[in-house]
């Protein structure tokens, strides 16, 4: 077992029976579950909408090179600069170069999982630049020096009392502040940062191929401030976020918000198609778009798992996943947690090191059921398992056991060997992790097969197949 897998098991052993954690998560996801059916009401034919969305993502991903080049062509025509980054390190270097050229001391950023993926904040800190998270949940997480717990709701695991205490520790505010008071306080802090920052960094929910734009969805207005106020706007986005046309937003915006938060449409939806133009009054003077690969082309090259690139990061599969709800986002030890994280991380960061995530699923299929773009998530976990075995990543003991299993399963007589007592003694001793918190298995003295033969076949005086 790799260290990463061992850490995952150790952390999940602590988290899974943690009842306080379970209550908080069930409460917060419960609120989400209560809201989603309301959002779904806006679709006359929800399944058709989901299938259509999958089809549009299929189109965008199957022609990814052309989709991205079209985007680049249109957005550069309006003065934005597009940078293609193959790795996280390349993206960081590019951002550093821009920061140096602009003499940046303070940078504001909106919530973006891609910046988490490349550990942007840590890097900026190491080169002496203050990077301020402006999404309230991310701001809380940054104060607490924790990565986001959930891809949509970063501080989902914290209750309001914990947040009030955190603010009291960091700012000396009263530990009795209400959520409204805490929000106002954070807003005051952040407003100051916006006016100071030389650069704003955002992610993007969609890369719009046909017009050459990016679309950003948010509920707080902080992303709009982050890209509108500072003189330079850097967008960093994974290459899979592309959709073919601006017209597709009519489908993707409501799907994203309904499946993400239960809203009909998210509060702020912004389309940005370049820096401020000559005839425009506001917007940044310069705009950079960094298109990040960082392992995504591994998924693209693999026809079986390619559809994982259709993901619009709504977080529905996390909220639907009983494993996620029991172990929480941090236990995964990855940027992307939950079912989608378990599907893509082995491809982004190495099968051998992260294959355990594909096995850490009961395959209940609820993720597949809720995915707005109909990604067959639980089947992709099975594809990953198969790939891991094919690559020779499984242990010798495991390979040997399945070879034995095959021999026994091809031979009915072997399956009737031994009696119940023998099997009980053997199985309950070997599978200690079965019996640790479960009563022993009790094998039948005779198999159904033996009993049937005795009762039915011999009785009728026939042998073999009935």
Q: Which residues are near other proteins by CB under 8 A?
A: 9, 12-13, 16-17, 22, 322-323, 326-327, 359-366, 368-369, 382, 384-390, 394, 398-399, 402-403, 405-406, 408-412, 415, 423, 431, 433-444, 446-449, 451-453, 456-457, 464-466
What distance in Å separates the CA atoms of residue 9 and residue 330, rounded to the nearest whole number? 12
Residue 326: CB minimum distance to other proteins, A: 5
Task: Pick the closer one to other proteins by CB: 153 or 366.
Answer: 366
Return the H-helix or E-strand segment holding 236.
Answer: strand 232-238
What distance in Å separates the CA atoms of residue 461 and residue 449, rounded to the nearest whole number? 16
Whose structure tokens read 């392992």?
Answer: 295
Task: Pick the closer one to other proteins by CB: 228 or 382.
Answer: 382
Return the H-helix or E-strand segment holding 243.
Answer: strand 242-243
Q: How are beta strands 106-109 and 206-208 bridged, if at all?
A: unpaired
Residue 161: CB minimum distance to other proteins, A: 24
Residue 215: CB minimum distance to other proteins, A: 32
Residue 329: CB minimum distance to other proteins, A: 14
CA 31 → CA 13, 27, 205, distances in Å? 26, 6, 24
Phi, psi of 362 (to 5 degrees): -85, 0
Residue 436: CB minimum distance to other proteins, A: 6
Task: Pick the closer one to other proteins by CB: 261 or 361.
Answer: 361
What tokens does 199 get?
């650069």
DSSP state at residue 441: P
Task: Pick the closer one to other proteins by CB: 125 or 454.
Answer: 454
Residue 295: CB minimum distance to other proteins, A: 21
What distance in Å separates the CA atoms of residue 231 and residue 278, rounded to the nearest whole number? 15
Task: Pick the closer one to other proteins by CB: 41 or 444.
Answer: 444
Task: Pick the closer one to other proteins by CB: 14 or 97.
Answer: 14
Residue 357: CB minimum distance to other proteins, A: 11
Whose structure tokens read 């502040």?
Answer: 177
DSSP state at residue 329: G
Task: Pick the closer one to other proteins by CB: 175 or 322.
Answer: 322
Nearest to 372 by CA among 295, 320, 331: 320
Residue 391: CB minimum distance to other proteins, A: 10
Whose structure tokens read 């299993």?
Answer: 405
CA 21 → CA 15, 18, 158, 213, 329, distances in Å? 7, 5, 9, 40, 11
Task: Pick the closer one to other proteins by CB: 38 or 420.
Answer: 420
Give start and end residues of each alpha helix (H) in 289-350: 296-301, 316-320, 322-327, 338-349
């Amino acid at each position: 077992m790799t260290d990463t897998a061992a850490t995952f098991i150790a952390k999940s052993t602590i988290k899974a029976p943690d009842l306080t954690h379970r209550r908080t998560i069930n409460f917060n996801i419960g609120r989400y579950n209560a809201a989603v059916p309301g959002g779904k009401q806006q679709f006359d034919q929800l399944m058709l909408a989901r299938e259509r969305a999958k089809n549009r993502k299929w189109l965008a991903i199957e022609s990814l090179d052309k989709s991205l080049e079209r985007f680049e062509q249109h957005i550069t025509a309006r003065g934005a600069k597009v940078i293609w980054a193959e790795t996280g390190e390349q993206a960081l270097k590019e951002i550093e170069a821009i920061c140096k050229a602009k003499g940046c001391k303070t940078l504001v950023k909106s919530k973006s999982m891609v910046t988490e993926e490349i550990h942007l904040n840590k890097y900026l800190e190491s080169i002496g630049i203050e990077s301020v998270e402006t999404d309230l949940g991310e701001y809380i997480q940054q104060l607490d020096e924790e990565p986001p717990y959930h891809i949509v709701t970063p501080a989902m695991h914290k209750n309001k009392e914990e947040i009030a205490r955190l603010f009291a520790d960091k700012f000396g505010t009263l530990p009795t502040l209400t959520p409204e008071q805490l929000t106002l306080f954070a807003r005051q802090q952040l407003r100051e940062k916006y006016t100071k920052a030389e650069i704003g960094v955002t992610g993007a929910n969609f890369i719009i191929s046909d017009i050459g734009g990016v679309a950003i969805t948010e509920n707080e207005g902080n992303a709009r401030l982050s890209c509108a106020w500072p003189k330079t706007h850097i967008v960093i986005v994974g290459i899979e976020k592309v959709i073919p046309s601006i017209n597709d937003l009519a489908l993707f915006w409501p799907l994203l918000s309904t499946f993400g938060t239960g809203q009909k449409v998210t509060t702020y939806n912004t389309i940005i198609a370049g820096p401020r133009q000559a005839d425009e009054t506001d917007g940044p003077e310069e705009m950079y778009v960094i298109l990040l690969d960082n392992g995504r082309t591994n998924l693209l090259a693999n026809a079986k798992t390619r559809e994982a690139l259709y993901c619009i990061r709504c977080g529905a599969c996390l909220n639907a996943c009983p494993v996620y709800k029991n172990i929480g986002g941090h236990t995964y030890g990855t940027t992307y947690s939950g079912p989608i994280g378990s599907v893509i991380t082995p491809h982004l960061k190495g099968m051998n090191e992260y294959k355990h995530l594909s096995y850490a699923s009961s395959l209940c299929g609820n993720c597949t059921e809720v995915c707005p773009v109909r990604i067959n998530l639980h089947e992709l976990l099975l594809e990953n398992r198969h790939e891991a075995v094919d690559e020779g990543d499984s242990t010798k003991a495991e390979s040997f056991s399945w070879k034995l299993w095959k021999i026994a399963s091809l031979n009915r007589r072997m399956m009737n060997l031994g009696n119940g007592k023998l099997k009980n003694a053997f199985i309950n001793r070997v599978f200690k992790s079965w019996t640790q918190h479960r009563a022993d298995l009790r094998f039948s003295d005779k198999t159904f097969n033996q009993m049937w033969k005795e009762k039915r076949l011999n009785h009728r005086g026939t042998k073999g197949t009935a």
